[in-house]
Structure 1
Amino acid sequence: MADLFDSLPSADRPAAAPAAETGPRPLADRLRPRALAEVLGQEAALGPEAPLGTMLAAGQIPSLILWGPPGVGKTTIARLLAREAGLHMVEISAIFAGVADLKKVFEEARQRRRAGQGTLLFVDEIHRFNKAQQDGFLPHLESGLITLVGATTENPSFELNAALLSRAHVVVLTRLGHEALEAMLARAEAELGARLPLTAEARAHLLAMADGDGRSLLNMAEVIASWRIAEPLGPKALGQRLQQRAANYDKSGDGHYNLISALHKSVRGSDPDAALYWFARMLEGGEDPRFLARRLTRMAVEDIGLADPQAQAVCIDGWQTYERLGSPEGELALAQAVIYLALAPKSNAGYVAYKAARALAKKTGSVPPPKHILNAPTGLMRDQGYGAGYAYDHDAEDGFSGQHYFPDDMARPDLYQPVDRGFERDLGKRVEYFARLRARRGGS
């Protein structure tokens, strides 16, 4: 996988190995870094005080999991680490490799160790290995037969075994920022020997299209350099010639959870613009609108609740509208629900009260209700005191008896505590009103 490179002119680079590299090579491969110091955009991982920087300074390379999006340098960093540590590097992909391939790698590593040579095993897409395959690495890591460097675009916490994670350091690599991409593009132009035929606006658009992926940027730059055009292209012409790459979004992976978290928290934070942005990002990534409709309804129940009871109805209506209209018109109904939820008064008082009630119910076990609120359909039950002393609220003053409805030996808890926002402000007044009547009538 092609990744990052330095900003030095081609003439300042060390000479390429003559025999293996004399044929045509893609631009992204020609611009691979020759040293870790040349890698762009990963200072947080490679700097002097960063994880890999301190490991190299100490002269030790432990087993690693490189976690980051595509095109940020995972493969290149692994190769450079092997070179720095003087280890023989073996590269496999978890997509294609099986048990037989791993056995062969381990046997060859034993032969190298007998000859005094260590092995760095690089496993691309390591999260694709199942639990048994991941467990197969453990004895060889503990014996020091191999140094494992795994690359993954998925969250290791979810995709890798705890036993494997406990024996490896996770290093997070981030998507490339504008500055790193700009430096990369300048280096590509130096290698190509000409500036790309783009206006300043089109150049900025090209960097945005790369979406933090260095390999994608270099591939697009190589295509653009092959065009024969008289005048620099603007953003519109560039967009017509280059198809917009899909956003980095995995509907079942880490991107899914990150973006839905961003949408939910934007709604909770009453920011309709941010909420619409994350909503649109998920749709552009191919998310199922039905999932979003369900999650929006959850937000209405969990974060708005009785502060605006209409919020839940707006979500259900938007969901039903989408089911009837389909895409793309039906998605507008969901977008309107996003706006409504973001601007609605917020309260989690009902949610908190529900959780407290569940905890209290679990704690008190099977304690029975007080007998005065039990039905007594038989004489035996009446003889046992079922229903004795029950006060029919409709016969009481103000339609409120103030009786105690909790178990006899249980003090009355305050589970529901409404906030002073939206419709719940009115509910709070009702709670206080009934509390005063209850105290006056001795029902506490």
Structure 2
Amino acid sequence: MADLFDSSTDRPDRGHDAPRPLADRLRPQSLSDVIGQEQVLGPEAPLGTMLAAGSLGSLILWGPPGVGKTTIARLLARETDLHFVQISAIFSGVPELRKVFEAAKHRRANGQGTLLFVDEIHRFNKAQQDGFLPYMEDGTILLVGATTENPSFELNAAVLSRSQVLVLTRLSLADLERLVQRAEQELGKALPLTGEAREALLEMADGDGRALLNLVEQVTAWKIEGKLDVEGLSSRLMKRAVVYDKSGDEHYNLISALHKSVRGSDPDAALYWFARMLNGGEDPRFLARRLTRMAVEDIGLGDPQAHRVCLDAWETYERLGSPEGELALSQAVIYLALAPKSNANYVAFKAAMAAAKKTGSAPPPKHILNAPTRLMEEQGYGDGYAYDHDAPDGFSGQNYFPDDMKRGVYYVPVERGFERELKKRTDYFAKLRRKRL
């Protein structure tokens, strides 16, 4: 398994006459042939700089499927004259790793280094990841790991501290078009598609170069006359499944995009991310809960009705189910996005919590304590309490904080929505309080 790919050919051992997939036939032979990822491969980019300086270190390549992680690793081995070994964390365990490390030690003793490419490296557990450390430190291997998951969450801090994380991005439509042109050159013929159908094909790939080439192979195998339009293409090909992991990066990335679009008062963007999550299979109940959180965190008293709208939409979904109930949730998305925003309550609550922790068990002032017993009366409980309803303006202005505590100001309403009215009230009571001092 460890030496499945030989560094001299960088290709699996196959019969010479066996048909090879288009993606394999178009695999770049040098880093300059790689399409996309200029932010990593450019002359001033991390890999370009490392190779120019002759100081390549261990790497973690983080990015979605089909963007060139394996290809880049293989080409790095070629550029640095290292023996290329590829393993997959899905199929390899401790025994396989030991064999890989032993073989790398022998190569090192004979003067050749090893670039160990570990696909899906996040699948290894902590103990297995720890096993790489001594061989990385003594130079037995140069580790290049590939992962579709956030390394910050999935990889040991020790491995990360000895590696540089490089972020690879999904291919743009322009990148995918270049890839199609390269495929047409390899195949010796143009795709039988209209311009609109060609664009639809690129979109079907969803930024995945490998998926695009598989689609191209399917299209070129059809026996058709003329050119297919979008409808003809769509009837023959299914759109690639959306990349969405309800417990992984895409889940957190998309809910962050939805939340920030609502906070940014953009109903169209908010609806888009809401729809993306539903299309990916997200539980509408999770979205209902998150929308309610947005209402209390980002809108608050700017529009006190907002959280009620969310709760009503949530209940409507529970009664109707999908897909009709999702319309109620989308209505809440629009309402929240267009509601006046205020996090004054959120900020005030955090500040009050911090003050409560700091002051510990400081007691309330005695004048606001009840005195149900004679002993408590003798201790001065309730002495001097001013009954606010007896004041002409219904406001006594007394101190309600602990005696030794400086008065705190936590709630500062904004000049938006309903809080504009609340600000008038807080300013009014602050003015009265100053008169009572």
Report if TM-score (shorter chain) is over 0.5.
yes
Say if 1:426 and 1:28 are closer, same or farther in 2 by CA, change over 3 A.
Answer: same
Q: Structure 1: which 4+ aligned runs deviate by more than 6 Å? A: 16-19
SS for the counterpart of 2:418 is helix
Where structure 2 has 5 or more consecutive residues not aligned to the other structure, the ranges are 1-8
Corresponding residue to 2:112 among 111, 117, 134: 117
| Other-structure match for 1:334 | 329
Amino acid at match of 1:148: L
Whole-angstrom CA distance in 2 between matches of 1:170 and 1:19: 33
| Alpha-carbon shift at residue 325 of structure 1 (Å) | 0.9
Say if 1:358 and 1:18 are closer, same or farther in 2 by CA, change over 3 A.
Answer: closer
| Other-structure match for 1:304 | 299
Whole-angstrom CA distance in 1 between matches of 2:429 and 2:326: 43
Amino acid at match of 1:149: V
SS for the counterpart of 1:422 is coil
Whether 2:337 is the aligned partner of 1:319: answer no
| Other-structure match for 1:6 | none
* Matched length: 428
| Other-structure match for 1:424 | 419
> Pairwise mapping of residues 341-352 of structure 1 onto structure 2 (< 5 A)?
341-352=336-347
Whole-angstrom CA distance in 2 between matches of 1:341 and 1:17: 54
SS for the counterpart of 1:407 is coil
Summarize deviations over 1:373-427 as a string: whole Å, max 9, x none. Answer: 1121111111111111112222322322221100112222211110011000000
Whole-angstrom CA distance in 2 between matches of 1:222 and 1:343: 47
| Other-structure match for 1:143 | 138
Whether 2:64 is the aligned partner of 1:69: answer yes
Corresponding residue to 1:282 among 268, 277, 286: 277
| Other-structure match for 1:5 | none
| Other-structure match for 1:413 | 408
Amino acid at match of 1:365: G
Identify which range, 381-390 or 200-209, moves more after superposition. Answer: 381-390
| Other-structure match for 1:181 | 176
Whole-angstrom CA distance in 1 between matches of 2:240 and 2:159: 34
SS for the counterpart of 1:267 is helix
SS for the counterpart of 1:91 is strand
| Other-structure match for 1:201 | 196
Whether 2:242 is the aligned partner of 1:247: answer yes
| Other-structure match for 1:82 | 77
Say if 1:18 and 1:266 are closer, same or farther in 2 by CA, change over 3 A.
Answer: closer
Corresponding residue to 2:432 among 428, 437, 442: 437
* RMSD, aligned CA: 1.5
Summarize deviations over 1:307-356 as a string: whole Å, max 9, x none. Answer: 10000000111111111111111111110000000000001111111111
Whole-angstrom CA distance in 1 between matches of 2:424 and 2:14: 85
Summarize deviations over 1:99-121 as a string: whole Å, max 9, x none. Answer: 11101111111111122221111
Corresponding residue to 2:290 among 275, 287, 295: 295
Say if 1:89 and 1:18 are closer, same or farther in 2 by CA, change over 3 A.
Answer: closer
Whole-angstrom CA distance in 2 between matches of 1:72 and 1:22: 28
Whole-angstrom CA distance in 1 between matches of 2:408 and 2:31: 62
Where structure 1 has 5 or more consecutive residues not aligned to the other structure, the ranges are 1-13
What TM-score does the superposition give when structure 1 sets the normalisation length? 0.94
Whether 2:21 is the aligned partner of 1:26: answer yes
| Other-structure match for 1:47 | 42
Whether 2:363 is the aligned partner of 1:365: answer no
Identify which range, 74-83 or 57-66, moves more after superposition. Answer: 57-66
Summarize deviations over 1:155-189 as a string: whole Å, max 9, x none. Answer: 11111111100001111111111111001001111
| Alpha-carbon shift at residue 60 of structure 1 (Å) | 2.4
Whole-angstrom CA distance in 2 between matches of 1:202 and 1:332: 31
| Other-structure match for 2:3 | none
| Other-structure match for 2:6 | none
| Alpha-carbon shift at residue 229 of structure 1 (Å) | 1.3
Corresponding residue to 2:208 among 210, 213, 223: 213
Amino acid at match of 2:47: L
| Other-structure match for 2:224 | 229
Whole-angstrom CA distance in 2 between matches of 1:22 and 1:53: 36
SS for the counterpart of 2:322 is coil
Whole-angstrom CA distance in 1 between matches of 2:77 and 2:268: 46
Whole-angstrom CA distance in 1 between matches of 2:57 and 2:277: 37
Corresponding residue to 2:348 among 353, 369, 373: 353
Whole-angstrom CA distance in 2 between matches of 1:278 and 1:311: 20
Amino acid at match of 1:241: R
Whole-angstrom CA distance in 1 between matches of 2:56 and 2:75: 11
| Alpha-carbon shift at residue 20 of structure 1 (Å) | 5.0
Whole-angstrom CA distance in 2 between matches of 1:105 and 1:407: 67
Whole-angstrom CA distance in 1 between matches of 2:167 and 2:397: 60
| Alpha-carbon shift at residue 19 of structure 1 (Å) | 7.4
| Alpha-carbon shift at residue 66 of structure 1 (Å) | 0.5
Whether 2:143 is the aligned partner of 1:170: answer no
Whole-angstrom CA distance in 2 between matches of 1:38 and 1:330: 49
